[in-house]
Amino acid sequence: MRTEMSAAAAVAAHDLVKTYPGDITALCGLTIEVRPGEVFGLLGPNGAGKSTTMKILTTLATPDSGRATVAGHDVLRHPDRVRHEIGVIAQRSGADPLATGRDNLALQGRLYGMSGSRLRHRVAELLNRFDLTEAADRTVRTYSGGMQRRLDVALGLVHRPQVLFLDEPTTGLDPETRAAMWVEIGRLAGSDGLTILLTTHYLDEADRLADRIALVDHGTVVATGTPDELKDGLRGDAVHVELRTNVTAQSEPAVRAAIADLPGVRELSVDGRRVSARTDDGAAAVPAVLTALDRAGIPVAAVTVARPSLDDVYLRHVGRRFAEAEADAAPGDAGAGAHETGAARTETTDALTTTGGSR
């Protein structure tokens, strides 16, 4: 079967391959398709290839092979046309810390050929929208992390792009500022009708924010779908039983024997006082599990049923927990992710939006 890139897609990348000097394979055949008006999340641990994908799609890097279009334009043949249609918010802020917020926005507008009152009005509109009017004439280095990130988003919007690229929009922000950023991104996609492609290594962020997700691992997409589709694909709930006492080497066979053969129970694991299994129907399995443990004389402290999470989806497709992949990537990740920790994006609490009653 031939795979054609859909002309209707806002962003389409087909079989992107990218290697860096030193034989580092950043992408090894990455394919995604983003529909107009949706928030699409590239979710993967550090080093997965998310930023490299963003750089290719925003014409800042070229792939070794593969094709991509953005807003209908080929990124290799017509990079200038692509640039005109997109806003880019890089992982690292592009604002000049020594200039004011207003001057940063005006400079950005001039880069896109705007000037005069049209530019002045657009700058004022964005300052207002992102709650930066009061701080507009202060240098950016005096801004909090949340204010800087809001300015970054405003900078990406000056020329009214169709497609917005956000690389790790909330990395380093405190929870409250992150939540406010989520609201703003949702609004950009909703009422403003933008198509948004964002990257994140936060499972909860992808879950909350993205209409659809591509799970990226080692330079390729291992699963695509809405968060619900991906979770439903696992078919079944997790049942976690907390025992009153630790399972020992002596007692483990009895615990396993009690539960393992119950109908619909699979993927049994035992760790300390915690016994976990996957079942087709968690609510139905709970009484059977409790009865079986009771009969075997194993006292239970608590039991919970959990719907599958994106972490479970990742485990299923990649074979390890997301946090483990992050921990593995951290020491050797000399690439674009490395400056995240050094960027000192320390943050005081401040709301992304004070108008509109969203908080």
Interaction site with ligand ADP (CB under 6 A): 20, 24, 26, 44, 46-52, 333-337
CB closer to ligand ADP, 109 vs 337: 337
CB closer to ligand ADP, 56 vs 265: 56
Q: Taking the complex as a whole, how short is the minimal distance between the CB of residue 210 and ligand ADP, in angstroms?
A: 16
- Which class for 166: exposed (0-12), middle (13-18), buried (19 or more C-beta within 10 A)? buried
C-alpha 181/C-alpha 158 separation (Å) is 18
Return all residues near 7 (Cβ < 8 A) that are at least 6 apart. 72
51 is a site residue for Mg ion (CB under 5 A): yes
Task: Decide if 311 contacts 210 (C-beta within 8 A).
Answer: no
CB closer to ligand ADP, 36 vs 335: 335
Q: What is the chain's alpha carbon radius of gyration, rounded to the nearest angstrom?
A: 24
Q: Taking the complex as a whole, how short is the minimal distance between the CB of residue 45 and Mg ion, in angstroms?
A: 10
CB closer to ligand ADP, 216 vs 258: 216
Site size for Mg ion, by CB under 5 A? 4
Q: Taking the complex as a whole, how short is the minimal distance between the CB of residue 63 and ligand ADP, in angstroms?
A: 12
Cβ neighbour number for residue 237 with a 10 Å cutoff: 22
Q: Taking the complex as a whole, how short is the minimal distance between the CB of residue 26 and ligand ADP, in angstroms?
A: 3
What would the DSSP string read from start to end of 216-274?
Answer: EETTEEEEEE-HHHHHHTT-SEEEEEEESSPPPTTTHHHHHHHHHTSTTEEEEEEETTE
Q: Which of 214, 336, 345, 352 binds Mg ion (CB under 5 A)?
A: 336
CB closer to Mg ion, 26 vs 126: 26
- Beta-bridge partner residues of 271: 274
C-alpha 113/C-alpha 111 separation (Å) is 6
Residue 333 interface partner, choices ligand ADP, Mg ion, none, CB cut-off 5-8 Å depending on type = ligand ADP
Query: What residue ranges bind Mg ion (CB under 5 A)?
Result: 50-51, 336-337
